[in-house]
């Protein structure tokens, strides 16, 4: 039994002998109840069959501590509380408690005040009965009072309101994010704990730095697990057919489709130990993920596509080197930096003789192979060159810089010898 020293002192109780060993004074504090459970209850042999607590807070702490040490409530130990607070409903398992008729108590108090003013009577002692509320912590079917249900619903509504404010603040931050990987990190912090987001790998296909050669890109997914704000999520590749679900060992995992318009972007797997309490939250987060997919991801796709199209204007796709426009753009940026004005610069042009004759005689495949061979040779000969570009069908340009003309001459001679 967990009770209060104040109660026993006020009522003149004298607990001696073996009975004393069965009583501990938690003083209505959850931390004290946890400490007593670890130092007085768990060390007993055998473990007590039941623990009766003077309030629901201490009973919830006892349940948590017992379960943390591998004991089952109520199968191994029965736990009961008192006061009929909302803690009894929120505890897992739900607590057997005693519910008081608070409206009845209020009416009795008002009646006694009225009689005091009328008659002066003040010394009477009145007893007000508590009603047992049986629940799972003693092995009974849960019978939760309407008052507790109303308290719980109000608490849930307040919590959901506050949580939604937080969600929409995070959404505002993510809608302003223009880069993909910082956005994914924000998504990892946004989704619920013990959940994960699986995005189609094809979303990244138009990233100019990454090319995925796959037969069915919609079957390849990037897993974004939940992470703390400011941390980078551990992204990993998974496949739809064997997609790992978070915490599949217990509870329920709800799988929702994330889409931008008619395009499926991926899946949101949300884990819940109590789906009856979490379903509204999971639904709200799923709706917001769809909003983000339609807004942010569509914008990212557009920006990446524009970057790739722009990059194609300045790159020779056969040899993957800048073309003449690309070389000109690089030089404009180089010349705009005043720190480069004192550096020596040299432009060396290499040609492929009889390129047109080779094309007419041997065809496109052989001609492109020759062009690629020349490109590889120039990269090997000029490892320190600022730029190597294919400026026409049969010409390459090598642009080199150095701190002095002598150093630049030495670079060119070394490359020519190679």
**C-alpha 155 chain-centroid distance:** 24
Classify residue 316: in a domain, yes or no: no
Token pair belonging to 230: 């400011």
E-only strand ranges, 201-318? 220-225, 236-239, 252-260, 263-272, 315-316
Question: What is the structure's pLDDT at 63?
Answer: 94
| H/E stretch holding 146 | helix 146-175
pLDDT exceeds 90 at position 237: no
Q: What CATH number does residue 82 fall under? A: 3.40.50.2300
Burial (CB < 10 A; 0-12, 13-18, 19+), residue 157, is: exposed
Lowest mean pLDDT among 53-67, 180-194, 382-396: 180-194
Q: Are residues 335 and 222 in the same domain?
A: no
**Domain range for 108:** 2-144
Q: Give 28-76 pLDDT, tens digit per residue.
A: 899 999 999 999 889 888 889 999 999 999 999 999 999 999 999 999 9
Q: Are residues 279 and 410 in the same domain?
A: no
Reported as a pLDDT band with limits 50, 70 and 90, residue 15 is very low
User: What total number of domains does the chain contain?
Assistant: 3
Q: How many whole angstroms separate alpha carbon 351 and alpha carbon 122?
A: 114
Q: Are residues 165 and 114 in the same domain?
A: no
Classify residue 87: in a domain, yes or no: yes
Q: Are residues 208 and 249 in the same domain?
A: yes
| H/E stretch holding 192 | none
Mean pLDDT of 326-355: 87
Q: What CATH number does residue 337 fall under? A: 3.30.70.270
Classify residue 358: in a domain, yes or no: yes
Smallest CA-to-CA distance from 385 within 405, 415, 343, 351 is with: 415
List the alpha helices (DSSP H) in 20-101: 30-36, 56-68, 86-90
Q: Give 258-284 pLDDT, tens digit per residue.
A: 887 777 888 888 888 777 767 778 888
Classify residue 411: in a domain, yes or no: yes
Q: What CATH number does residue 191 fall under? A: 3.30.450
Identify how many contiguous H helices and E strands the chain contains and give both numbers: 13, 16
To the nearest 10 degrees (0 to 180), the angle between helices 180-190 and 146-175 is 170
């Amino acid at each position: 039994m967990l009770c209060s020293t104040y109660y026993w002192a006020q009522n003149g109780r004298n607990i001696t002998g073996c009975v004393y060993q069965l009583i501990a004074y938690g003083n209505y504090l959850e931390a004290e109840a946890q400490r007593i459970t670890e130092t007085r209850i768990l060390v007993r042999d055998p473990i007590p069959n039941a623990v009766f607590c003077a309030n629901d807070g201490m009973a919830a702490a006892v349940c948590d501590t017992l379960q943390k040490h591998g004991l089952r409530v109520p199968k191994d130990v029965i736990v009961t509380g008192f006061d009929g607070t909302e803690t009894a409903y929120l505890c897992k398992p739900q607590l057997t408690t005693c519910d008081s008729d608070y409206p009845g108590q209020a009416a009795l108090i008002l009646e006694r005040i009225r009689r005091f003013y009328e008659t002066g009577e003040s010394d009477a002692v009145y007893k007000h009965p508590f009603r047992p509320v049986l629940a799972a912590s003693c092995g009974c079917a849960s019978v939760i009072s309407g008052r507790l249900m109303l308290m719980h619903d109000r608490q849930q509504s307040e919590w959901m309101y506050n949580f939604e404010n937080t969600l929409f603040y995070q959404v505002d931050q993510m809608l302003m994010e223009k880069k993909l990987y910082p956005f994914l990190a924000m998504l990892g912090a946004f989704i619920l704990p013990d959940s994960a987001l699986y995005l189609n790998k094809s979303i990244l296909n138009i990233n100019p730095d990454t090319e995925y050669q796959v037969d069915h890109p919609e079957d390849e997914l990037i897993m974004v697990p939940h992470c703390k704000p400011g941390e980078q999520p551990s992204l990993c590749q998974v496949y739809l057919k064997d997609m790992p679900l978070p915490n599949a060992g217990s509870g329920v995992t709800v799988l929702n489709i994330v889409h931008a318009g008619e395009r499926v972007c991926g899946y949101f797997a949300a884990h819940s130990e109590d789906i009856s309490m979490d379903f509204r939250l999971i639904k709200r987060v799923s709706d917001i993920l769809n909003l983000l997919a339609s807004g942010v991801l569509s914008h990212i796709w557009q920006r990446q596509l524009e970057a790739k199209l722009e990059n194609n204007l300045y790159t020779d796709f056969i040899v993957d080197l800048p073309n003449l426009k690309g070389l000109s753009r690089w030089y404009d940026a180089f010349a705009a930096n005043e720190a480069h004005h004192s550096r020596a610069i040299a432009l060396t042009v290499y040609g492929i003789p009889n390129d047109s004759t080779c094309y007419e005689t041997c065809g496109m495949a052989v001609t492109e192979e020759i062009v690629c061979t020349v490109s590889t040779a120039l990269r090997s000969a000029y490892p320190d060159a600022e730029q190597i570009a294919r400026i026409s069908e049969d010409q390459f340009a090598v642009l080199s810089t150095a701190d002095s003309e002598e150093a630049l001459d030495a670079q060119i001679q070394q490359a020519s010898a190679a």
